[in-house]
């Protein structure tokens, strides 16, 4: 399967330069819907989601819907998600679908086709993947993303404290699990790195992980792909934290912000202005 689409990494690089390095989240969980004065039902889900689409479309580098909050409403909730992805695509805004899929063989192949295939029913520009059945188990999805001009973000150092049990563990060769994941991404981005471009295989690294990147020897600049970085705003990461965690990889950072931006709703204009303000703040930190 081939495509004439520009690779995801390059499209993201252009979008970050134009709009700032922010990925605005769409997280329609009960608390946020109710804080907007919406009912926690399908009608509230749709109103919340389409307000976000109107506010963010054409205004930010990327938008990240959290699939679980749509799936909880069943097929009709997924239909709202698919509509949001389509409308953001029409607005020229990149989408990162947060699904955290990970499996083996034909199953991960099917997950790839569902979100990354040429005619994917729930098509996104990129998805999140979980590597904890081994980075190599993700090969069908990664290869499909490359073939269709899409991208992936692989979990590496997440902000939840439980993640360290797996991510900080050492392999027989002395590398950490997180380091091995970064090495896999670096290999997949080798061609783009050689040409000075941002690769299409990124990592998820929390802005609140402290010294873990350096302590574990995770070489983020060599990975050469984008870094989806949750933790700014509501989760407490400061500008100093971001600079310390990502150091030489700051130009690769795509900050993910959900609650900090979404609390500005439900007014579309206020929501858009908050997203642009956060994007500007992150740009000042990363120099993008």
CA angle 116, 118, 121 (to 5 degrees): 65
Report whether the peptide linkage leading into residue 280 is cis, meaning its omega lies within 30 degrees of zero.
no
pTM score? 0.96
Domains (ranges, CATH) in the chain?
Answer: 8-286 (3.20.20.70)
Residue 100 is among the residues annotated as catalytic for this protein: yes
In sequence order, the β-bridge partners of residue 202 are 153
Which residue out of 29, 83, 89, 100 is catalytically annotated?
100
From the first residue on, what is the mean pLDDT of each consecutive set of 10 residues in the chain (288 residues)? 73 97 96 97 98 98 98 98 98 98 96 96 97 97 97 96 96 96 97 91 95 95 96 72 90 93 96 95 87
The model's pLDDT over 85-144, given as tens digits with 9 standing for 90+, comes to: 999 999 999 999 999 999 999 999 999 999 999 999 999 999 999 999 999 999 999 999
Report in angstroms the alpha-carbon separations of 186 from 182, 221, 225, 234, 244: 6, 9, 8, 30, 21
Phi, psi values for residue 227, rounded to 5°: -120, 110
């Amino acid at each position: 399967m081939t495509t004439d689409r520009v690779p995801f990494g390059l499209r993201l690089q252009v979008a970050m330069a134009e709009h700032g390095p922010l990925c605005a989240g769409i997280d329609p969980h009960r608390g946020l819907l109710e804080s907007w004065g919406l009912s926690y039902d399908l009608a509230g889900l749709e109103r919340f989601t389409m307000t976000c689409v109107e506010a963010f479309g054409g205004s930010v580098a990327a938008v990240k819907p959290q699939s679980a909050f749509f799936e909880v409403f069943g097929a009709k909730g997924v239909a709202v998600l698919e509509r949001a992805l389509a409308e953001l695509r029409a607005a020229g805004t990149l989408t990162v679908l947060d699904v955290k899929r990970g499996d083996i063989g034909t199953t991960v192949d099917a997950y790839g086709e569902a979100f990354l295939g040429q005619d994917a029913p729930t098509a996104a520009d990129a998805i999140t993947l979980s590597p904890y059945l081994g980075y190599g188990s993700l090969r069908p999805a990664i290869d499909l993303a490359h073939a269709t001009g899409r991208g992936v973000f692989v979990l590496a150092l997440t902000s939840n404290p439980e993640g360290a049990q797996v991510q900080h563990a050492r392999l027989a060769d002395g590398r950490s699990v997180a380091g091995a994941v970064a090495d896999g991404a670096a290999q997949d981005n080798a061609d783009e790195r050689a040409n000075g471009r941002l690769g299409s295989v990124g990592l998820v690294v929390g802005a609140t992980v402290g010294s873990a990147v350096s302590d574990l020897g995770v070489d983020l600049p060599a990975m050469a792909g984008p870094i989806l970085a949750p933790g700014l705003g509501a989760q407490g990461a400061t500008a100093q934290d971001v600079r310390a965690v990502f150091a030489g990889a700051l130009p690769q950072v795509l900050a993910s912000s959900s609650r900090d931006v979404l609390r500005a709703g439900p007014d579309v204009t206020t929501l858009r202005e908050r997203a642009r303000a956060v994007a500007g703040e992150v740009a000042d930190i990363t120099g993008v």
